[in-house]
Structures are given as C-alpha cells and as structure tokens.
Chain A
Amino acid sequence: MKHQTRKATRHVSQNEGLIFEKSSPGKSAWRLPPLDVPEVDTQKLLGAARRTDLGPMPEVSEIEIIRHFTRLSTWNYAIDLGMYPLGSCTMKYNPRVNEVVSRLDGLANAHPYQPEKISQGALRILKTLSECLVEITGMDAITLQPAAGAHGELTGLLMVRAHLHAKGDPRKKILIPDSAHGTNPATAATAGYAVENLKSNAQGMVDVAALAAQMNEEVAALMLTNPNTLGIFEQEIHKIADLMHAKGGLLYMDGANMNALVGKVRPGDFGVDLMHLNLHKTFSTPHGGGGPGSGPVAVKRFLEPFLPKPVVVSKADGTLGFDYNRPRSVGRVRAFYGNFGMFVRALAYIFANGPDGLRQTTEDAVLNANYVRKGLESAYDLPYPTPSMHEVVFSDKLQAKKGVRTMDIAKRLIDYGFHPYTTAFPLIVPGALMIEPTESEPKEELDLFVEAMRSIAEEVDEDPQMVLAAPYSTRVSRLDEVAAARNPVLRWKPKG
C-alpha cells in the first residue's frame, strides 16, 4: 500500500467467538435474593403450561460477559472514534449529559401508567420539548408518539388522510420525488395510498412544471425532503406549496435533513403543512447501532384535531395531564407515549445549545459540507453543481472508468480510518457518494477526510485492483452477502 494514512494505525484486536461457544453448565453471572414468600409448586400452578428446558441459552460468568461484549464493541466504528460521514444520517456527537439525565431514577424508573400526580416531571418534559420543537419548526402543534422517522411519516399521512376524509374528499395518491428516501413510498403504501413518482429537474430539485402537470384532485400530498437528499434546498418551495394547496393537497416535509435548517429557517414559514423530525439525527440522541429513534410530527393548526392520542394538556388546577378524549384523532400509533428516553436527551441537547448554539450548529454543519465539497470537487464528479447545504453528493463517474465503484471507494476509506459515506443513494445519482460531515467535525478531521478521499482517487488511477479488494485493515475482509441471502443462517445452533 503506497498511500499511507495519517488518521489511523492498525492495532491488535481480540478474537471472540459466539457467547454460546463459551457456555458450559454450572457457570453463572446472576444471583437472586432469597425468596421472602413461600416457594411454589410450578407443576401444580402451571400444569401443561410449565416449561422445563430453555434450550441452549448461555451459561457464563460476569467477567466473561464483560470481555465478550467489550471485545465485540472494539470491532465497531463509532462517532466517538471519528468522522462518520453518512449522508442523510446526521451522525453528530451524542452528548453524555443526555445519558446521565435520562438515567435519573424518577425518569428511568417511571411507569407509563403511574398516576398523573406523580408524573408531573415527565409531563413537563413532554410539554417543554413539544414547545421547543413547535418553535423550531414554525408549526402549531406536535405529537411525540412515533418511534422513528418512518413511523412519523406514517402518522403524518394518517393525519392527511383523516383531514381529507373529514372534508369528504378522500384521495388516492401521494407524490414522491425520485430522490426520496425509501421509507417515503413504503409509508405511503402502508397508509393505503398509491405512489406516484415525481422527476427531479437538471438542478436536482423538484421540477415545478412537472409537478403542476401531475398535481390533481386525486393527490392527497407531496412528501418532500428539504433540503433534499442531494443536500439541495428546494428554492421554489413556495411555488411547490402553492401548487399543492391550490388543488387541495398537502405538503408533507420529511425532516431528515433538518440539521441544515434549525435556527435559520422554519418549514412552517415556507408552506409546509406537516413534517416529522428525527430526534436521533438533528437532536443528538444516539443511534445505538440502529436505534432507538424518535419521530415527532409537527403540524399546522388545522391538523391538530387529528393528532394521535393522548395529548398533553394543562388542567384547570395548573397540573399537566393526558387528554384521551380526542374524537377526531387518528388513534394510537404506539403503546404509551413514545420513546420518552429520547425526549429527555433531545431536550437536554436543546438546553445545552440555546438559540445561539442551535443556529451556530446549523451554520457549522453547512460550512463543513461545503468545505468537503470544495476539497473534493476536483477529484470526484459532482453531478449537480447546485449549492449544497449540509451534505454533498458526488458520483463515481470518473472512477467507474477504471472499474471502481462507489462501494469500492467506501471500503477503501475504511483503511484510512473513516467510516464510509452513504453509497448508492440517492437513486437519481448513479454510483452516488453521499457525504454529510455534520457540525461535530473539527477542521483537522475534515482535512484528513479530504486527504484520504483524494488519496483514494489517486489510487484508483494508479492501481484500481488494489482498491477493489479493500478493506485490508479490518478483522474480516468483504463478506459474501449473496451467500448470506441465498442460504440464510439467522441463528446459532448447537452441533449435532
């Protein structure tokens, strides 16, 4: 390997088998206190319902568990280790005070059905976060119930449907730009709508003329991500909103890219009727290896009656409570009140930032993306030269001539000590490299990233075969995904 990296150095990592392979009868990591009530005869109490064998569940000691999971953890890349430039994922720093406050006894051990008079703290958190998010989005009301972004999308479309149904105008279709995230069309189908694709124009934005032609009384809503997945702000957003509203349709905004807007512009001010937020993106709650998320949906006043129930209300005696009497509500989308632990974290993040911090955060996120763009635009093809907001999308057009595709470049980037960017998305860019640095990266880290990406571009010119076989520095080389899907092995089984 000719090109060396300044960011990372290989070092030894521990081998570790599956936990089942360490198990043997008689080892244990638990001890229960003595039972203070009489022992029971399980056979007598349960009869045929009684279970006697738990199969090959592990039997190991506490130190083995600590080592097992610590070893596994060292095989992961993480924000805590370095830049995680996944586009549209907003992999920002996850503040540790968030973790501390979410574990306070009265919050972590609160039962969702405990009486309201001993739930005033939790209700106050729900209310305060709601007020902050309503202000940030420029909307009028909000539900915190959805458990993730896609769940928020569904909740939003159910509200669209309820609103149109109440007007006696149930519609059939949802318009979705071809640059959209896959959850948008999947959500529309779940909500019982047909999906109609909307083509982007040469600048990577909604083709307003095409929208005008496609918009009619059959269309319930347009689901629009803004900035879109190319990192481009939809500059004709007001025309888009007007077109939708003129024909009785609604404008839904996918807030996945809200990290480009907070404190600078509010969707409620540019014509959006409803939108979801991803607390696990914009508001710093940890991704945790794939979740949990939280997908609040903010709406304009006319949609407020349709919010999922319950909603938090101030009562006559000054206390807070839940209102279940919401006859026009779309119903429940989840048991209890949503991913409360994420609300605590998101609110702590807002407190730590304040209005000035939130604005500076957005500015730094956009600054970082443009800095990376500038650093890489002479080495990689930029299919849409339209100005970038918080992320930038290149294509592998130049490297593909040598047979090297976006996934190969991404794998090589691992050897340089970085997590890959998002590959092959959005779909409108063949061979996309989608890069979102977020505000959390210092200039030094961005410089190293740009240097690494430029170095890989040179490697592609000089020795494409080498890049094709990357990564070289990881515990495992490229894995056989085809075999995994053809003959799925989805669990461990004991031998014999």
Chain B
Amino acid sequence: MRYLPKSPADREAMLQAIGVRSIDDLFAPIPAEYRLERDLKVPRQMAETEIVDWFRERSRENGDGYAATFLGAGAYYHYRPVIIDSLISRGEFLTAYTPYQAEVSQGTLQAIFEFQTMISELAGMEVANASMYDGSTAATEAVMMAGRLSGRRSVVLARSLHPEYREVLSTYAAHQGMPLTTLPYTASGRIDLAALERAVTQETACVLLQSPNFFGTIEDVAAVAELAHKQGALLVVAIAEVVSLGILEPPRQADIVALEAQSFGVPLGFGGPYCGIIATRERYVRQMPGRLVGQTCDRNGKRGFVLTLATREQHIRREKATSNICTNQALMALMATIFMTIYGKEGLKELAKQNLAKAAYAAEQFGKHAKLLFQESPRFHEFVIQTSEDPHAINNRLLGHKIVGGLPLKKFYPELGNAALWCCTEMTSRTAIDTAVGFISESERGVRSAPEVDVEEVAP
C-alpha cells in the first residue's frame, strides 16, 4: 500500500523489538468472536489513475461545463483568485493540527488573528471568533449564546431567515427548552415590525433575522434593534452573503452577528465545507462559543499569538462549556483571510458594487416580463420573480442551454406560488441574464396563449 512507509523487514524487526511473534498478538485484546476474519466489502485497491478517472466521471455527471448559474440562497458562486489555493495547499497550513502548541503554530495563529480582525471590522463588531461549522450552526449557536447572556429562553425569528437555518435552529432549540416564534414578512419582503413589536416581550432572549434576508432584501436592522432592545432582548443578525458587507452598512446595532463566509474564496463544493463565524461585542466574549486567538508576549517580550479564553471550551469546562464545538473550519477561514487580503479595502467595495449592478440590471429586465416581488425595499444581489408558469418548467428549458435558473421557492414558501429566487454575482454575464430573460418572456407569452401542462420537477 503506497501510503505505508514500511518494508516487511521493518515490520518484522519491530515485532521482534516489541517481543511478539506476529501482528495478531497485538490484536489479542479484541475478543476473538468479534474479530473480522474476512476482507471488508469495499472496492479493491485502486491506482491513482483509476481514482482520478472515477471522480472525473462523477464530476462530468455533476454539471461540469455549465455556462451559468442563477442559484444563490446561502451558497454563492464568486471568483476564487488562484493564489488562495496556492497558499492553502502549502503542507504547513494544510497538514497542521489545531494550534494548541503555540511555539510551533505561529503561522496559523497569526493568520487567525488577522481573520478575526478583518471579520470584526467588516461585521461592525468588536470581536470575532476563529470560525464555526457554517452559517446555520453559527446562527443557532448565537441564539444559544443570547439565551445565556439574557437569562431568558424564548426566541423570535424572521420567516425570511434561510429556511435551512431555521430548521437547524429548531433541531437544537427543541432540547434547550427554547420556544421559537416565527414572524412573517410583509409585502416589502422585510420582517413585519408591527408583529415584531407584539411578539417581543420581557421573556424574549433574542430576535434573530437575516440581512440581506433569504429574498435578498435588506432589513431595517436599526428599527428591529430598537424594538428588541426596548424589551431587553438581544438582536442576532445572520449574514449569509459576506460580499454584501463591501457596500452595505454592517448591523452595528446587533449584539451578535452570525456569518457564513463561504463567499470569501471558499468553493461551492455542493454545500460544504463552508465557514461560519460568530462576532459580538467585547463584553459578551466570555459567553461566545468557538476558538479565539489572542495576542500576547513570549518570555523575551516578543509579540506572539495563542489560543485564549479556553475556559469557555469543552476540553476545559466539559458539560459546562459554552458549546460542544471542537474542530472548526480553520482552513476555510484561511481561504477567507487570503480572499479579504486580496480584495482589501477598495476591492471588496468594487466587488460588492459589481454584484449589486448585475442584480439590479437583471431584476429590471426580468421585471419587464414577470412580477418582481418586494420591489419597495433595497436589495443586494438576489431577487424574487413570480411567473405564471411553474419555475421548474422554465428552469428545465434553461438547463438545455446549460444555464441553471433561480431556486423555485414553493418548497420553502408555498404562499409565494410560482416564485423563484434569482441571484447574480460578478460571475453572471449580461449574455446569461439576457438569455434567461428571454426564456421568462417566452414563458409568459406562452402561458397567456396556451393551457397549462404538467412538468417534470427538476429542482429540489
């Protein structure tokens, strides 16, 4: 086996040194009746060429070669500058463990310190942690953290929060004794402020909303913060699209911000691994879950970095820890750090502006032929289009032209009927937009002149 660095003679010499006759002697502690006396039924040992070929075939079956995608909804297709992979492929980053031994981990530690700095700056918070699993678990852990900080249990959240984030929250909250109240959105696509005012009470631990929300609509965070804080509740804001922070005011009024930083240089990768983060105010840091890097000095007064405030964590505090999280998403955080460094102060702004412009153009063009929902509120790079025809049918035709259309919303928001969530990024060409608009226009003309037909469902 090509990964194993021993010759038969080495093994023999080692067995002799140990003082056993055969390798089986070392497995003697396993009761004989349980030992596996046959080969595992897994594929036979393959050559590297065979492995590459097998996965190439899977890649081909998986939309390789598609011209454009209009899918967003919490996972975004942005360009990944090539130096991200050049740098993260260095074995010293790729094959290092969690930096518990600071003297031989300063590279990872300093990079995380830079990550924490950039994320807290972009998120408008004072501190950010070293990462969480993803945006959905970051939002959920942020809610648990708000529960500990406020000493209250009930949670008010927006229906315009990513539906899968809501599912994850409800999985966790069920066993934490945290009742959830979900508030509707209005015709503007934003959370219903009147309903919010009624729902938030002295029992409310926090209000959780996403901005830009699942529909791409930018929420009035200041107004929500005021209503939450008036009752002593905390405000947790989830941000699923961090590229928006280049052009949108961060939720400075929030107490905790839960982010998904996939857009910062992490591949779409069919949904993971991504990069969740929690950012907050300094005074709340001791209730924050996840690893934190802090600056300190060595014995000669030289600057260095260490993992710090570990008494929040499971390996010290066990069942009293702020979370059970151990392994995080360090390599993804490194990708994000490099991405943020490449674009920097000006580039992040320009990148966000291009995303805004592409989506503004697309929304305007789509809106000429079908109904653009939630028009009165500002948007970032996603918008909802309601068609006469089922969007699955339109998407099916678009697929024939190697274009993946917007996400049909019926599964998550049946009340929106034939609506789909479309996303444009800097990767979306005007040609692709115009082609998609053509199909929408054709669909609307067709529906007006033909009876409805059954279509095959192609999207989840």
Contacts and interface: CB of A to CB of B under 8 A. Distances in A.
A76 B108 contact: yes
Interface string B54-65: 111111111111
A163 B2 CA distance: 43
Contacts of A331: 167-168, 170-171, 174
B447 interface: no
Contacts of B111: 69, 72, 289
A107 B133 contact: no
B97 A443 contact: no
Interface stretch (B149-157, B200-208, B335-343, B367-375): B335-343
B416 interface: no
B133 A151 contact: yes
Contact of B97 (A46, A91, A337, A368): A91
11 contacts: A66-B83, A79-B91, A99-B89, A104-B55, A112-B268, A121-B62, A195-B319, A262-B40, A292-B330, A352-B51, A480-B296
B330 A289 contact: yes
Interface stretch (A208-216, A263-271, A396-404): A263-271
Interface residues of A, number: 202
A75 B18 CA distance: 36
Interface in A473-490: 474-481, 483-485, 488-490
Contacts of A479: 102-103, 296-298, 304-306
Contact of A353 (B29, B45, B302): B45
A55 to B, nearest CB: 5
A453 to B, nearest CB: 15
Given A73-B107, A116-B458, A287 B18 contact: no
B435 interface: no
A111 B6 contact: no
B128 A190 contact: no
Q: Which of B1, B50, B167 has the most CB of A within 10 A?
A: B1
A266 B45 contact: no
Interface residues of B, number: 202
Nearest to A236: B31
Interface in A119-152: 119-122, 124-125, 132, 135-136, 147-151
B27 A366 contact: yes
Contact of B62 (A18, A106, A324): A106
Interface stretch (A244-252, A297-305, A355-363, A455-463): A355-363
Interface string A375-418: 10000000000110100000000000000000000110010000
A480 B75 contact: no
The list of the 7 closest CB pairs from A to B, nearest first, reads A336-B271, A288-B331, A106-B64, A354-B45, A80-B91, A121-B62, A106-B59
Contact of B361 (A18, A38, A84, A324): A38
A189 B319 contact: yes
A28 interface: yes
A463 B441 CA distance: 84
A54 B122 contact: yes
A258 interface: no
A481 B116 CA distance: 18
B18 A183 contact: no
B314 A341 contact: no
A148 B55 contact: no
A165 B114 CA distance: 46
A357 B345 CA distance: 50
Contacts of B349: 51, 54
A104 B55 CA distance: 8
B322 to A, nearest CB: 9
Contact of B404 (A105, A118, A420): A118
B11 to A, nearest CB: 6
Contacts of A60: 341, 344
B110 A72 contact: yes
B35 interface: yes
Contacts of A37: 357-358, 360-362, 430, 433
A296 interface: no
Contact of A77 (B10, B105, B325): B105
Contacts of A366: 23, 26-27
B273 A190 contact: no
Nearest to B360: A40
A485 B308 CA distance: 6
Contact of B344 (A29, A110, A344, A420): A29
B37 to A, nearest CB: 10
A419 B97 contact: yes
Given A62-B83, A106-B61, A476-B102, A56 B121 contact: yes
B293 interface: yes
Nearest to B103: A474
Contacts of B81: 29-30
Given A286-B95, A289-B99, A477-B103, 6 more contacts: A57-B348, A73-B92, A77-B92, A110-B269, A366-B26, A479-B306
A491 interface: yes
